Amino acid sequence: MDLIVSAEGWASWNGKRYRCALGPEGVRRDKREGDRTTPAGRFPFRRLLYRADRLQPPATRLPQQAIDPADGWCDDPAAPSYNRAVKLPFSASHERLWREDGVYDLILVIGHNDNPVIPGHGSAVFIHVAHPDYRPTLGCVALAREDLLEILAESASGDCAAIEV
């Protein structure tokens, strides 16, 4: 099944419609690191990362893993670990996955620029929890926590995010 994401900030899954936040510069087919766009395309759901100190393991048929304060994601195109999970401290540029604002309490890792990884074509593009005001992301797709939990409960390997221009 596909989570269909429109450039207008709506997603649909299994007949339901959900509000979502995207990158402030819109949706583009030619995503580049730091361009603040959400990539267009069809990306398989890889796995779920979550904050076990804030919620129980979510209901899903996807592989899942609890994160901890030492978890990060490399966003340095020159680093060998570009667009990969890393352990902190980490010398190259990276994003911390352990955040206080709650947006990374649930991180659905999607198959954007991961097979193969192409340096500079975008990193750390996830589906995660939206801020209450749905402010733009840096390029991810963000949904209300309860909406994301509902989608995860019906998700399995083989499902995808189809992000449309």
Q: Report the number of distinct structural domains present in the chain.
A: 1
pLDDT of 138 reads 97
Please tell me the predicted confidence (pLDDT) of residue 31. 98
Instruction: Tell me the whole-structure pTM to 2 decimals.
Output: 0.98
Q: What angle is formed at CA 158 by the lines to CA 106 and CA 58, rounded to 5 degrees?
A: 25
Domain ranges, residue 113: 2-163
Q: Given this model, what pLDDT does residue 120 score?
A: 98
Q: What is the pLDDT of residues 120-149, one digit of tens each?
A: 999 999 999 999 999 999 999 999 999 999
For residue 1, what pLDDT band results from cuts at 50, 70 and 90? very high
How confident is the model over 21-76, as pLDDT tens digits? 999 999 999 999 999 999 999 999 999 999 999 999 999 999 999 999 999 999 99
For 122: left if phi > 0, alpha if psi spans -120 to 50, otherwise beta; the answer is: left
Q: What is the CATH number of the domain that holds 67?
A: 2.40.440.10
The 10 Å Cβ neighbour count of residue 146 is 10
Over residues 111-127, the mean pLDDT reads 98
pLDDT the model gives residue 141 = 98
pLDDT at site 49: 98
40 Cβ contact partners less than 8 Å away, ≥ 6 residues apart? 27, 28, 29, 31, 163, 164, 165
Length of the chain: 165
pLDDT of residue 135: 98
**74-81: long-range contacts at Cβ-Cβ below 8 A with a sequence spacing of 24 or more?**
74/123, 75/33, 75/123, 75/124, 77/33, 77/119, 77/120, 77/123, 78/119
